A and B are shown apart, each in its own frame.
Chain A
Amino acid sequence: MSTPAPIPAADPAYVRIANVTKKFGDFTAVDNVSLDIQRGEIFCLLGGSGSGKTTLLRMLAGFETPTSGSIRIDGTDMSTIPPYERPVNMMFQSYALFPHMSVEKNVAFGLEQEGLTRAEVARKVAEILDIVKMGGFGARKPHQLSGGQRQRVALARALVKRPKLLLLDEPLAALDKKLREHTQFELINIQQRMGVTFVVVTHDQEEAMTLGTRLGVMNHGRIVQVGSPSDIYESPANRFVADFIGSVNMFEGQVSQEGPEGVRISCAEVGTTVRADRAVTCSRGATVWTAIRPEKITIRRSQPAAAAGENVLRGTVREIAYMGDLSIYLVQVESGKMVRVTLPNTMRGGERPIAREEKVWLSWHGSSPVVLTE
């Protein structure tokens, strides 16, 4: 019985963060976070500024040491391993390219630390520069490159050592919108080609949704919810997540009826009963919140044929924002509360659109509302 426990070869958790806390003086940046990241996935840590996501990333890189808890990468405890010995590379938000070195030298820097021959270094540098489409720029200095090109060099420099884990700190934040969209897909492409596990930190929920195979939403140093992008969007765990990811209409109410086929919540705030066709663990009379995404609400001029007073609201259109692909309607319901509705502009020209100050009916399907107890 004295044989040491063998490290399981097929441990599903490639990176295991267990009860990690990081304090800076009195401030707790990361608060008892436990998280498993699988091999080959793109895991996005999403949160506002000060949510602790960057601190968590820096602990993975080794720039910060956890106050308590442990980090294992591929089964190895990282607590005593300095950054320069970790099988991890990072792409910095500022890119942190060495200004006095050419693109080639920047990319070669990591390989030179491994003691490879010159020819090998040159071959690997050329290969990775081709992958990020910077083949012809090897002799340039970083200040002679555009923002997008610098981003590619930073990516090449981080990838050239074939790390087990690549950490990306706000990888697209410095790029303009068009380039960002393009680069997002390219990042996914490169990740799949090279089979590296990515951990991405971002404050941009759109970026997280498109990049991530799974997301971890952070708030005040804690992980609030972990799940696939659609899990998090469609089934947020609480009001913070519902509100942080996308936009949402949140109505407070009391549970008036609950059963295995669903719940009814009377929302005095908007003057209707919300019926959700999903079982929720809550008791009658408890205060809960219903969250309904703007695109899941139907807006029309005539009264919908729904059960009277259930999942239906009457109001007046106060604002319309035309976004091209869709329009946002701000509807003031009879109780005075504003409800946000989005409608895709599927038809060009089409029938007479709903105008401002028009009286409208809002309704939604019983599967749309999410009932949140916290």
Chain B
Amino acid sequence: MRLSQLAGRRLVAGIPILWLIVLFMIPFLIVFRISFSEVRLAIPPYTPLITWHHGSPSLEVHWSAYKFLFTDSLYISSYLYSLKVAAVSTLCCLLLGYPMAYAIARAQPSVRSVLLMLIILPFWTSFLLRVYAWIGLLKNNGVINNVLLYLHVIKEPLALLQTDFAVYIGIVYSYLPFMILPLYANLEKHDPALLEAAADLGARPFTAFRRVTLPQSLPGILAGSLLVFIPAVGEYVIPTLLGRTDQIMIGRVLSDEFFENRDWPVASAVAILILLILVIPIMLFQRAQRRELEGAS
């Protein structure tokens, strides 16, 4: 009985661990290993890690891929651009999402479930389709320009597509639910008596929000921000479809290196560097989560 219980427990924990090892850890190690090789015209298209000279093995580690990333300004500017786009989008999501999450958390329970449903509703349509729909809205003879022209607000169509603005719209639109849901989960737990207590002690509504609601919702803000920021940094589809052609994001660089240049080592190095940049916020996220769990107990 106890043994089978133990076996069952191991199985439950084991399946996700196995999943992570096979589908995450091993591919990561392969990418990591490729990033330390050089391109060659062969299959596979990179130098082996271990070569044999007169029967004895020698380790061949090349840093050239990483060096290359810092010599060509394309990479650095793509990284910085990606971080900027992700940061601005995250901020916009936060500014839009916080009031929405707050309103949902404060709504009547019956209305609340409907509002939550509306937040999740876009997921029922394909992500790609929704981004394509934005092309239809933003392009020169798209819906927005046509309406503005018809209303004589503008004389000639605005260049909306293939701008930073279009990328922000696309990312904010696509990732907003990921900001709202953790914020809602946090705000919904707040005790309304705390705001009454703050008012009772002489705090005006804004002060009460700043000193009571906001500090307590920090874990939610952090969770939502990371859930938006992390995928936004590596976003490929939205900037490719809606964004500028003169300045690309790092996800596009990565894909181009693999599929256009067939330079696997540089592509791998790009990927590893993205990971390093993102590991820091992920660690922050986990720390925040742990703190919230401790606070709740």
Contacts and interface: CB of A to CB of B under 8 A. Distances in A.
A161 B201 CA distance: 8
B295 A83 contact: no
A109 B211 contact: yes
B245 interface: no
Contacts of B283: none
Q: Chain B's interface: helix, strand, loop or mixed, by majority? A: helix
Contacts of A84: 199-204
Contacts of A254: none
B196 A96 contact: yes
Contacts of A96: 191, 193-194, 196-197
Interface string A78-101: 000011110011101010111110
A110 interface: yes
Given A96-B191, A100-B215, A109 B196 contact: no
Nearest to A110: B201
Interface in A81-130: 82-85, 88-90, 92, 94, 96-100, 109-110, 113-114
A174 B216 CA distance: 24
B202 A114 contact: yes
B51 interface: no
A100 B194 CA distance: 11
A322 interface: no
Contacts of A185: none
Contacts of B216: 99-100
Contacts of B204: 84
Contacts of A89: 200-201
Nearest to B202: A113
Interface string B210-231: 0110011000000000000000
B189 to A, nearest CB: 11
Contacts of B203: 84, 109, 113
Contacts of A98: 194, 197-198, 212
Contacts of B191: 94, 96
A88 B200 contact: yes
A45 interface: no
B207 interface: yes
Contacts of A62: 199-200
A157 interface: yes
Nearest to B200: A90
Contacts of A88: 200
A100 to B, nearest CB: 5
Contacts of A114: 202
Nearest to B204: A84
Contacts of A30: none
A61 interface: yes
A286 B263 CA distance: 107
A63 B196 contact: yes
Interface residues of A, number: 25
Contact of B200 (A61, A97, A100, A143): A61
Contacts of A90: 196-197, 200
A143 B196 CA distance: 20
B202 A92 contact: no
Q: Which of A84, A92, A100 has the most CB of B within 10 A?
A: A84
Nearest to B207: A113
Given A84-B204, A98-B212, A92 B199 contact: no
A161 to B, nearest CB: 7
B193 A92 contact: yes
B61 to A, nearest CB: 49
B65 to A, nearest CB: 46
B82 to A, nearest CB: 34
A1 to B, nearest CB: 40
Interface in B164-210: 191, 193-194, 196-204, 207
Interface string B136-177: 000000000000000000000000000000000000000000
A143 B294 CA distance: 11
A143 B293 CA distance: 13
Interface in A54-89: 61-63, 82-85, 88-89
Interface in B57-76: none
Q: Which of B198, B199, B212 has the most CB of A within 10 A?
A: B199
Contacts of A92: 193, 196-197
A97 B191 CA distance: 10
Given A92-B193, A94-B193, A113 B200 contact: no
B136 to A, nearest CB: 46
B195 to A, nearest CB: 9
Contacts of A82: 199
Interface in A138-162: 143, 157-158, 161
Q: Which of A63, A85, A158 has the most CB of B within 10 A?
A: A63
A120 to B, nearest CB: 15
Interface string B271-297: 000000000000000000000000100
A109 B198 contact: yes
B199 A83 contact: yes
B207 to A, nearest CB: 7
B218 to A, nearest CB: 9
**A-B pairs with the 4 shortest C-beta distances?**
A110-B201, A113-B202, A96-B197, A96-B193
Interface of A: 61-63, 82-85, 88-90, 92, 94, 96-100, 109-110, 113-114, 143, 157-158, 161
9 contacts: A61-B200, A84-B199, A90-B200, A96-B193, A100-B216, A109-B203, A110-B202, A114-B202, A161-B201
Given A61-B200, A62-B200, 8 more contacts: A84-B199, A90-B196, A96-B193, A109-B198, A113-B203, A113-B207, A143-B295, A161-B202
